[in-house]
Amino acid sequence: MLGLLGGDVRGAETHSKDEALQRTMAIIAEAFRAGKPEPLTSLLPEGGKVFISLEHFQGTAGYYGRDQLYFILQEMFSDLKTVRFVLRPQANVDTPPPRGQKPSQIAHCIGEWKYSRQQGPETDTQMLFVLFQKNSTWSLLQLREAR
């Protein structure tokens, strides 16, 4: 499909989707690096809930609203110091859809997180994030600690 200026509109839509997803991933990474829950809670859809499973961080798996997520993350971050956090999309996120199909509105991302507790050894873990796109905005649907 050609746009008014002769460009491929599908390419522009995919490019803007990638930019929006990259911005959302940058927000997540910065929240973990800084140990601040505010950026993550801003990714919840208004009035929505997110599935959280952080059992190694004294959390019970379940669906939580924005305020609950804030306090869960605040407690988790207060005891930890991030050494390194790198977030990457799973391989299928960057794959363009077959011709004639819409791009996926779901993105799965993996965070490689190295942290230490107060006066403790460094620990490596993986965090799994499921993001959902609606009206060109990406929201957090799930946050799980990988096992």
CATH number of 9-145: 3.10.450.50
Instruction: Give Dmax (Cα) for the chain.
Output: 60
CA 78, 89, 53, 69 torsion: positive or negative? Answer: positive
User: What per-residue confidence (pLDDT) applies to 79?
Assistant: 85
User: What per-residue confidence (pLDDT) applies to 84?
Assistant: 96
Q: Measure the CA–CA gap between 25 and 28, rounded to whole angstroms.
A: 5
- Binned average pLDDT, 10 residues per bin, the chain of 147 residues: 40 57 95 94 88 82 92 90 93 55 79 89 93 90 88
Strand order in the sheet with 62-64: 62-64, 50-53, 137-145, 122-134, 106-117, 80-89
User: What per-residue confidence (pLDDT) applies to 118?
Assistant: 78
For the entire predicted model, the pTM comes to 0.78
User: What per-residue confidence (pLDDT) applies to 35?
Assistant: 94
User: What per-residue confidence (pLDDT) applies to 92?
Assistant: 54
